[in-house]
Chain A
């Protein structure tokens, strides 16, 4: 019978993951092979530790086991190629993707950052980058990642190995980038972590009972990234954004798994500790004066989270923040959110006019969010028939069951109201006639 690792040991293993991988990649210089070896070492730990007890030095144990795996693998390969002697690197040069050459003063910090740059490589599709990051730096097993994405384990294993092949084929040197390149690569890492977070955020309302917590994992890795680059304001902003968004997790879905919009959420369910941490983080970061999109989105989330009720929301401030954000990004979704804020400040007609502008953006072609926002604004403007039509079109267009259910109920709520009013009118007409 296989005993399970306790949560504390699991957490320790995950924290050790990037350190183990960093050491073996530096030693053997083959990212793909080392990553597999580390994964096997983790599986060995899960099998042996509960039975034999935890080793005195878990890090050394894992490095030892992973190293043995990779030398076994390389010896087998070498034998296959009839090669007798092993030279400096055990891996043929054309199969190597290595960390920066082992210079003096290479630190654990550089190792982990290098590994993040590799796993979030811009040549990878987001889904592959997320999977590889979860495995190489997050220390999750392929089975756990597969479960989080609801795909068979073999599919996920294939996705990970193809991702590694893509990195290899891209031929990018893995020296620690500097200057602009460093900023760009950090940008990719943040983007992957943000997508990982959103994936978890979107998925957790589904029908599944058990899911690996992708949002939680994204936050843990963002905290790790923040320890590596503590002065980077956008990394701090990203962490604040995640904290402030995730704080509403318990309130954002109803008993039917449908989305509960911000203005209708039970605010007593919000996680006050996460909000306090996020607000503190974004406040201390913004004053440093290097404002970026993640910080601004975090600031907007903070304004929502700090409002005692939906009615108390400081919409003029949110609108002002969207104004600054619009100047920094060319994202039509930001423009659409600004339209909502505009409607809250200047009335639904002003918001609807902006929605029409956003709709002209070819990237938004027939996007269901346009209709969903229009529905809300038309309802606020008193156009029930128009709102119903928009909600239904949006329900037809969304690929999320939770969102579809929410939109269907919005449309149904308004048409119920229509029916009641029509019934009331008929009754009063009859009453008037009978007089």
Chain B
């Protein structure tokens, strides 16, 4: 079963990481890279992407003529999606384990961030016996 794990960031201001000491930034990046490699090696990684900063975010709606109406930037938004992983695992328990590992990514001073990771199941085709 597939899950999407989403990492959010408080909407106000630039990414927190911007102001960390160099050592902390590089420890964090190192963690994220080996995390992805490990998921890939375990055959559990489907996709992972980081998203551009909120400064470039736009909200788009179609007008009556079908043309795009763009809106943004949103400094007041409570939080922003900054990146996601899609994993393919055997059980929800395994998905939560992986999410907890991501949550504990090292932050400032190497302290675990313990950030909230939203875990959502990715919809799939019905099981053969349901047809």
Contacts and interface: CB of A to CB of B under 8 A. Distances in A.
A412 B27 CA distance: 13
Interface in B13-30: 14-15, 17-26, 29-30
B128 interface: no
B20 A412 contact: yes
A207 B22 contact: no
A255 B30 CA distance: 8
A209 interface: yes
Contact of A409 (B26, B36, B55): B26
Given A256-B29, A399-B52, A401-B50, A408 B17 contact: yes
A203 interface: no
B18 A207 contact: no
Interface string B25-62: 11001100100110010000000101011011000000
Nearest to B14: A396
A419 B29 contact: no
A207 B36 contact: yes
A412 B37 CA distance: 26
B32 to A, nearest CB: 9
Interface string A337-374: 00000000000000000000000000000000000000
Nearest to A401: B50
A416 B21 contact: yes
Contacts of B37: 207, 209
A258 B33 contact: no
B25 A408 contact: yes
Given A256-B26, A412-B25, A207 B48 contact: yes
A156 to B, nearest CB: 16
Contacts of B33: 207, 256-257
A163 B64 CA distance: 32
Contact of A413 (B22, B48, B53, B56): B22
A235 interface: no
A401 B49 CA distance: 10
Size band of the B side of the interface? 20 to 34
Interface residues of A, dominant DSSP: helix
A395 B19 CA distance: 12
Contacts, number: 48
Contact of A392 (B18, B48, B52, B56): B18
Contact of A209 (B18, B40, B50): B40
Contacts of A419: 21
A313 interface: no
A164 to B, nearest CB: 28
A345 B86 CA distance: 49
A420 to B, nearest CB: 10
B27 to A, nearest CB: 10
A415 B53 CA distance: 21
Contacts of B14: 392, 396
Scoring B29, B48, B50 by chain A CB atoms within 10 A of each residue's CB, the highest score goes to B29
A265 interface: no
A96 interface: no
Contacts of A411: 18
Contacts of B56: 397
Contacts of A405: 25, 29
Contact of B55 (A209, A255, A257, A396): A396
Nearest to A391: B18
A57 B19 CA distance: 64
Interface string A372-405: 0000000000000000000010011101010001
Contacts of A207: 33, 36-37, 48
B75 to A, nearest CB: 13
Nearest to A257: B33
A256 B15 CA distance: 19
A435 B37 CA distance: 56
B10 to A, nearest CB: 15
A209 to B, nearest CB: 6
B40 A412 contact: no
Scoring B24, B25, B30 by chain A CB atoms within 10 A of each residue's CB, the highest score goes to B25
A397 B52 CA distance: 8
A392 B17 CA distance: 10
B29 A412 contact: no
B104 to A, nearest CB: 19
Nearest to A417: B22
Contact of B25 (A257, A401, A409): A409
Given A401-B50, A412-B22, 18 more contacts: A207-B33, A207-B36, A207-B37, A209-B37, A209-B40, A255-B30, A256-B33, A392-B18, A395-B18, A396-B15, A396-B53, A408-B25, A409-B22, A409-B25, A411-B18, A412-B21, A412-B25, A416-B23
18 contacts: A207-B37, A207-B48, A256-B30, A257-B29, A257-B33, A392-B14, A392-B18, A396-B53, A397-B55, A399-B52, A408-B17, A408-B25, A409-B22, A409-B26, A413-B22, A415-B19, A416-B22, A416-B23
